[in-house]
Structure 1
Amino acid sequence: MFRFLKPVILAVVLGAGAQLSAQEYPQLFDVVDVAADDVLNIRQAPSASSDVVGNFAADATGIEVIMLNSTQRWGLVNMDESTGWVFMRYLSGQGQPIDHYNMPVGLRCFGTEPFWSLHSDGGVWQYDSMDGTSAELEIEIAQDSGIAQDFRRMVRLSGPDGAGTAFIYPAMCNDGMSDRAYGVSISLMTGPATPLLSGCCSLSQ
């Protein structure tokens, strides 16, 4: 059973009279400015004095930062079956913003009860479940909100069961089986008469 946690803070004030714009998280980052014989520590809490619970190699890439802490200096990341915090000074964004009319780069989604997975291959989603069901879902429309860097997409699909729909949106999500956290959630129907599935999504492959 998925647990939906405290919502991600979606907007920041850009200035007096400016419109609100979604934060660019989650996003993928690479480790930078760490000596080749050193590592980037993952800490239990967003503090340099907090216990070290893991690390990334000096050349690690594709690290998904789920959200920032209140000071914007530490980023929440997944490791093994839990989460930790890394100092953002040593991470550099891959420069893959979420653009209009397209799905977030590298998106994959999954759920439990029942177990299922979904990954994107161009304009097609590959859907698989543990009961042996497998289907290619063609993306007909992935409508965005018109707000820059906004993950939200209302998706219309075409598959073997007929027309399907999906809603992708920023919300802290947990798979209910570990302490890992995810910053994007999904509600999915693979066809017009299929059950509504709920799950989490990640940019990390």
Structure 2
Amino acid sequence: MPRTTLAPTLALMLALASPAAATQEYILPTLFDVAGVAADDVLNIRADPNPTAPVIGTLAPDATRIEVVEERRGWVRVNTGEGSGWVNSRFLTYRTDVWNEGALPQGWQCFGTEPFWAFIPQGDSVVLGGPDTPNDMRKVQSVLSTGVFRDPTRAVVAEGMTLVSTPQLCSDGMSDRLFGLRAELVIQGNQPRMLSGCCSIQP
């Protein structure tokens, strides 16, 4: 009797402790590729997450690196033009090469309004700029992450400033697009200040 009781318990404990059981498939935002759409067809982007909603855009059958920022009942939100819409997740497959420990994905950049600003990586530096200010390039000292597998949270520490981006739906205040990362930028110096905005990983 003790043997039949302990065996399933031990098996369950081993299963829970295995890396495969602990691995998260993905955390949004992340990038997806279109899959399962015929070469002569397109994947519709709809105004709402249902199959009868109006079509507001399309994705090519071979489209890749599409940023998904929200998921709802088998549908996912993507940006299209100056707005956002919904795609049936059955026709998307997630990429495993997006969020690597201590690194930023290709295409990652942050921006905000009031005032307008942009924070864009360039090699081993970042450029902070805006329409009314000259570009300010700073050396990146480190890119920090939480250590949680595929967690998009990042802190970029550069000379005299630090930007933290965290997973949260975010509006740029200028369009109907929604982004999956909220940004807080702290600038040090004689007049320290903090700027808020959004980040995107769309290439």
TM-score normalised to structure 1 length: 0.80
Matches of 1:67 and 1:96, distance apart in 2 = 19
Q: Paired residue for 2:174? A: 177
Paired letter, 1:34: V
Q: Is the 8 A contact 1:104 1:151 kept in 2?
A: no
Residue 165 of structure 2 is matched in structure 1 by 168
Distance 1:105 1:173 in 2: 20
Distance 2:25 2:168 in 1: 12
- Relative to structure 2, which stretch is displaced further, 110-119 or 96-105? 96-105
Higher relative contact order (CA 8 A, sep 6+): 1
* Pairs within 5 Å for 1:1-205: 23-69=26-72, 71=73, 73-158=74-159, 163-192=160-189, 193-205=191-203
**Structure 2 CA distance, aligned partners of 1:122 and 1:38?**
38
Between the aligned partners of 1:83 and 1:54, the Cα distance in structure 2 is 9
> Which structure: greater helix fraction?
2
Q: Equivalent residue of 1:149, what SS?
A: coil
Letter in 2 for 1:138: K
* SS, match of residue 133 in structure 2: coil
CA contact (8 A) 2:156 2:164 kept: yes
Contact 1:68/1:74 (CA < 8 Å) preserved in 2? yes
Distance 1:93 1:57, change over 3 A: same
Q: Say how many residue pairs are matched.
A: 185
Unaligned runs of 5+ in 1: 1-14
Q: Residue 45 of structure 2 contacts residue 58 of structure 2 at CA under 8 Å; is this kept in 1?
A: yes
Cα distance in 2 between the residues matched to 1:98 and 1:65: 14
CA distance in structure 1 between the partners assigned to 2:152 and 2:96 by the alignment: 15
Mind listing any 5+ residue stretches in structure 2 that lack a counterpart?
Answer: 1-14
C-alpha distance 93-20 of structure 1, shift in aligned 2 (>3 A): closer
Does structure 2 retain, via aligned residues, the 8 Å contact 1:115–1:130? yes
Q: Work out whether residues 48 and 86 of structure 2, in 8 Å CA contact, stay in contact via their aligned partners in 1.
A: yes
Structure of larger gyration radius: 2
Q: Is the 8 A contact 1:137 1:190 kept in 2?
A: no
- Aligned CA-pair RMSD: 2.3
Seen in structure 2, the aligned counterparts of structure 1 residues 137 and 190 have a Cα distance that, compared at 3 Å, is farther
Amino acid at match of 1:58: P
Distance in 2, Cα, partners of 1:57 & 1:99: 27
CA distance in 1, matches of 2:173, 2:152: 23
Q: Taking structure 2 as the reference length, what is the TM-score of the superposition?
A: 0.81
Identity %: 37
Q: Residues 22 and 148 of structure 1 are in contact (CA less than 8 Å); yes or no, is this contact kept in structure 2? A: no
Tell me by how many angstroms 1:19 deviates: 7.3
